[in-house]
Amino acid sequence: MKLPDDVPTEVWETCFTSCSRETLFSLSLTCRLFRDATRQFRFKSISVMRWLKDIPDFDADWVVDNPDALDSKFRDAFKRVKGLFTDPRFSALVRSLEVTGVAFAGAVKKRKPQYANFIRAYEMVLYGLYLYLPNITLLDTIVLNELDFHKDLLESLARLPALTHLVVSHSSQLERLLFISVQLPKLRITRLKVSLSTHIRSSIKVDGLCRLLELCPDLQELEVVDHPMFSLLSNRPKLPAAACPNLHTLMCPPELVESIVSGRPIRRAEIRADFEGVDYMNAEIIMYSLKVLHANGVPLQELTLTCHPFGHVFQFVAECFPRVRKFEIFQPGEQVAPVRIGRTNVWEILSQGGYPLPPAIEHFVLGAEWSSDEQIGQRQESMLIALKAQYPALRRVSTGLDGTHWVWRHNCWEAV
């Protein structure tokens, strides 16, 4: 079916007149959506160019063989971006934006002149995005997929007064920040306070990540999913002391802790070591990160670890972070923790005082591969009673593959 040149006027009129602000949730700019003009529109969140995922894996051969199709798609996308982002009714509604770019193979750009047309059309879409993005004054979340950072993009982000969440998912974005920072030394995304997440498929360069953090002086939460990239012949990059003074939540691989934590009031830490099947190595990497946190005097109150529940890990956490109120420990690779060391049950060790917990613990989470309805029962409840006797503040325990929760109510444990 042929795509329309633009969204029919009657579609937008129906959208704006028949939907209340409470029912406008999400609009995805996809080919499928625009082919179906009768589809119910509800949006507070929009996604630009996700329709490009119709191209399987951005295959370079497909791109080379279909330049005219891409040219047409990009030209349509530019019209929609301009039309949407300049409509005051639309821009007043949108709270979340996701932008998916295309990582063209370098060989495509250097080939015959016909390929220059769709690349130029694609760049026009990005230009329209950067130009009109500040019109969405209530935008609080933006997700950038496969999209290189550009100085115009950063300037647009800096002009968004309500921006609180930024998610990036391409390593080259961080690399380009080093170059951009020279051009825009005074740029600050001052409104980005709540969350910065990087979901990057390959190892990230820490110097680029540190530069991005420097652009966000009010940042309070940082999540980095993938492992950082270091040169063994150079010093490990570190975030300058003046950057992100209010960072209180850090979720990252253990190798990144030392680069980020110094001088920052980290109250919640989630450290993920995901070398599956190498339990002792994971535990030692986690231990090094915990020692870095302790050496920097961070006031931890919540701690999540992915490593085997070795006793020395529990011992260190209990002794060095006595103010931790919530402690979670999971198996690397999945949100489940092993609870047996040989034939010994970790719950039994905990209830008998063999493994200590922080004295202020209120919520403890330990998944259990062996947990089932018939195994939880009275036996585990007796262990929980013993734990409660050791830790008077303990009020909630979560266990099991299904996330069974035990809550202390009316002087007894209740499964919820």
Residue 343 has a pLDDT of 41
Residue 185 has a pLDDT of 56
Q: Which residue has the higher pLDDT, 354 or 51?
A: 354
- DSSP 8-state class, residue 233: T
Q: How many other β-carbons are positioned within 10 Å of the β-carbon of residue 144?
A: 21
Kindly state the tokens that stand for 136: 């969405």
CA distance to 176, 248, 356, 379, per residue, from 352 (Å)? 54, 34, 9, 13
Residue 330 has pLDDT above 60, yes or no: yes
Residue 24 has pLDDT above 70, yes or no: no
- Residues in CB range of 231: below 8 A, 6 or more apart: none
Amino acid letter, residue 386: A
Kindly state the tokens that stand for 314: 């529990």
Query: What is the C-alpha to C-alpha distance for residues 117 and 75, in angstroms, rounded to an integer?
Result: 10
Query: What is the C-alpha to C-alpha distance for residues 80 and 103, in angstroms, rounded to an integer?
Result: 21
Q: Which CATH architecture has domain 267-334+344-415?
A: Alpha-Beta Horseshoe (3.80)
Residue 388 has pLDDT above 80, yes or no: yes
What are the φ/ψ torsions at residue 307 (nearest 5 degrees)?
A: -165, 165
Per-residue pLDDT tens digits for 204-242? 677 777 877 887 788 888 887 766 665 544 577 888 888
Rounded percentage of the chain residues whose pLDDT exceeds 90: 16
Q: Which of 16-25, 143-152, 373-382 tops mean pLDDT?
A: 143-152
Kindly state the tokens that stand for 162: 């309500």
Query: If you average pLDDT over residues 409-415, what whole number do you get?
Result: 88
Kindly state the tokens that stand for 204: 């990230």
Residue 370 has a pLDDT of 37
| Angle at CA of residue 83, ends 81 and 88, nearest 5° | 110
Query: What is the C-alpha to C-alpha distance for residues 205 and 207, in angstroms, rounded to an integer?
Result: 6
Confidence tier at 86 by pLDDT (50, 70, 90): confident
Q: Which residue has the higher pLDDT, 153 or 52?
A: 153
CA distance to 45, 153, 167, 224, 247, per residue, from 201 (Å)? 24, 22, 13, 11, 24
Query: What is the C-alpha to C-alpha distance for residues 309 and 282, in angstroms, rounded to an integer?
Result: 10
Contact criterion met (CB below 8 Å) for 167 and 194 = no
Confidence tier at 22 by pLDDT (50, 70, 90): very low
Kindly state the tokens that stand for 101: 């770019």
Query: What is the C-alpha to C-alpha distance for residues 243 and 228, in angstroms, rounded to an integer?
Result: 19
Q: Which residue has the higher pLDDT, 129 or 335?
A: 129
Segments making up each domain of the chain, as ranges: 267-334+344-415
Residue 195 has a pLDDT of 55
Residue 320 has a pLDDT of 96
The pTM score is 0.69
How would you write 355-403 as a 3-class SS string? CCCCCCCCEEEECCCCCCHHHHHHHHHHHHHHHHHHCCCCCEEEECCCC
Q: Which residue has the higher pLDDT, 119 or 289?
A: 289
From the list 286, 312, 317, 284, the residue with the least C-alpha distance to 300 is 317
Residue 120 has pLDDT above 60, yes or no: yes
Q: Which of 81-85, 181-185, 259-263 tops mean pLDDT?
A: 259-263
SS3 of 163, please? Answer: coil
Pairing type for strands 340-341 and 344-345 reads: antiparallel
